Structure 1
Amino acid sequence: MARILIVGAGATGGVYGEKLVEAGRDVTFLVRERRFEEISAEGIRVRRKSGTTSYPAKAIVTPEPGDVYDLILVTVKAPALPSVIENLKNAVGPNTIIIPLLNGMAHNAMFEDAFPGCVRGGIMRIMATLDPDNTVVQLTNLCELIVGGVHGRKLPDDVAAALDVPGIRLIVREDVTGSLWEKWAFIAAAGVTTILFRGNIGDIIAAGGHDMILDAVAECEAVAAASGYPVSEATHEQTVNMLTEPHSTFTSSLYRDLMNGNAQESEHLLGDMALRAQQLAVPAPLLNATVLQIRTQQVG
């Protein structure tokens, strides 16, 4: 049986780990000391509309030498990646597959540099959050995992089989890079819109921001196209519909993290896209203004 290591036991890792454990997979969580103590004592709590449950889970703080895993799923936020990569060195062998489940693209390059040939791509679609008491809260029934090859390397069949469990809709693609870019373009456009205009979509529309939302979408999708991964018409329509819905209370996770003072991924998602726009000579005034606004706040 494949040994699976999930890095992080937050919203994404907590829900997906639950499904893997329920399906009998050999799962271990790599977490920080405080989270390790909670999991060892109480398991991982998950709350849904139907109520709160918990499941027992194995957890470690640091892999021991020789403690190699077949599959590693990375579910932490971008600021944690440098320490995670350092901590994973004992867990990665020549046949280990690493699938970072983050938005953006820079993380794949980071893992590829540290562990050449081990990286594949993945996207987790889920509406979940982590309460202050570290209870995982799944907000909707949406739970979808898209995985596949990158850099011409396919996802091994046995890895796909290990990830195929009840409760998760699994989609396997020969090359998942285009899907990663499509999600990144959406996440960036949503971040630019809600951060720059400081509100939810409904309020921005009511204030007359419809056309500027479309401009933000166009900028981010232009970067994807210039990088060789144009967003499909269907995905473009979904993005526009979601970000221009009157009375919508939607805000991006980037905006929420910024407003709440949480660890956030603005440089990973918006700073990196702004840099690529500059390198590709793609005009991106709204994206650049948003990045400057965030960086100015951080200076203070």
Structure 2
Amino acid sequence: MMNILVQGAGALGVYFGGRILEAGYNVSYFVRERRAAQLEKEGLVINSPEGDFTSQDFKIYTTPESVENIDLIILAIKGYHLQQAIPQIQTIVERTGAFVLPLLNGVEQLDLLQKAVGKEKVIGGFAGIIATLNEKGHVVHSNNSSVVRFGALHEAQIEICEKLAEVGRNVKTKILQEKDILKHMWKKYIFITSFSGITSATQLTSGYIAENEATLAVAQNIVYEMSMLAEKEGISLTEKEIESMANNIKIMHPEATSSMHQDMRKGLPLEVEHLQGGALRIAAKHGVEIPVIQTIYGILKPYENGRLN
């Protein structure tokens, strides 16, 4: 049976790791000392329309040198924690030979991780869920669905991806193998850069944005700029796909908002450097301008480390 290590125990890591644990697979967690103490006290607790789940039966690691017998690392951290996590991931991969499945938004993490542990070790993927942790560290899942999409980026990953696809057939969530995972990742990156940017910069939910033509146009222009970057990176998108992403905000629940906006409300750090900043770095690489994203980046950058004092 595959042994899975979830690195990070925020809402994303607890939810998907918990669902895999619930199905009877071997799941352990790699977390900081403070979170480890909370998990040992409270256990894994999921409150969800897909079914509630509680468990105390899992192993917790707090040092990479103690990790053993791992086949797959599911990396469930925020983009702003990636740089400090890379040395830990390197140590675990060197000790165990594990593959790494990062569930971060954006695309820059692939290159960073591939340079750290080798191209053959980094699987493509991302997650979709609306969930948060409450004060006890329990997951509160607020929409009716959740999904992890993943796919091989190297022929050495075919076997581990087939094993993960088998896991996906037995869990109370969607864990789906995709052939063209890079395109799926870019489509998520395009939308989340627009949605996180516009909701956070305006401090508004999707309903207000969709009803205001000028504000909606800003969100749509971010989609168009991001789609241009995708094309520069070799990702082929149809006009229909681009227009669908540009108009997605119109069909969302009026109260829907981004996790970045939620973090901003709470005074927490933002993934602005990982998302909008990453887009600016890709644009610079190709020598193109993305003025709308640059403006949103400038508005949000002061809040990158949380609430201003």
Q: TM-score, with normalisation over the residues of structure 1?
A: 0.89
How many residues are paired up? 300
* Gap change, CA 1:249 and 1:59, over 3 Å in 2: same
Stretches of structure 2 lacking an aligned partner (at least 5 in a row): none
Cα deviation digits, residues 178-224 of structure 1 (max 9, x gap)? 11111101111112322333322222344432333322221121111
Structure 2 match to 1:47:
47
Alpha-carbon deviation of 1:83? 2.4
1:289 to 283, 295, 300: 295
CA distance in 1, matches of 2:35, 2:303: 30
Q: Contact conserved, 1:68 with 1:91, CA < 8 A, in 2?
A: no
* Gap change, CA 1:12 and 1:235, over 3 Å in 2: farther
Do structure 1's residue 81 and structure 2's residue 77 form an aligned pair? Answer: no
Alpha-carbon deviation of 1:101? 0.5
Structure 1 match to 2:110:
108
Q: How does 1:24-103 map to 2 (within 5 A)?
A: 24-48=24-48, 53-56=53-56, 57-64=58-65, 67-93=68-94, 95-103=97-105
Deviates more, 1:192-201 or 1:265-274: 192-201
What's the % identity of the aligned pairs?
27
Structure 2 match to 1:178:
183
Alpha-carbon deviation of 1:104? 0.4
Greater share of strand residues, 1 or 2? 1
Q: How does 1:1-300 map to 2 (within 5 A)?
A: 1-48=1-48, 53-56=53-56, 57-64=58-65, 67-93=68-94, 95-116=97-118, 117-150=120-153, 154-156=157-159, 157-209=162-214, 210-233=216-239, 235-245=241-251, 248-297=254-303
* Gap change, CA 1:154 and 1:63, over 3 Å in 2: closer
* Gap change, CA 1:158 and 1:203, over 3 Å in 2: closer
CA distance in 2, matches of 1:246, 1:3: 37
Alpha-carbon deviation of 1:163? 4.5
Question: What secondary structure is seen at the aligned counterpart in 2 of 1:170?
Answer: strand
Q: Contact conserved, 2:18 with 2:53, CA < 8 A, in 1?
A: no
Q: Contact conserved, 2:5 with 2:27, CA < 8 A, in 1?
A: yes
Deviates more, 1:249-258 or 1:259-268: 249-258
Deviates more, 1:245-254 or 1:124-133: 245-254
Greater share of helix residues, 1 or 2? 2
Q: TM-score, with normalisation over the residues of structure 2?
A: 0.87
Q: Contact conserved, 2:6 with 2:74, CA < 8 A, in 1?
A: yes
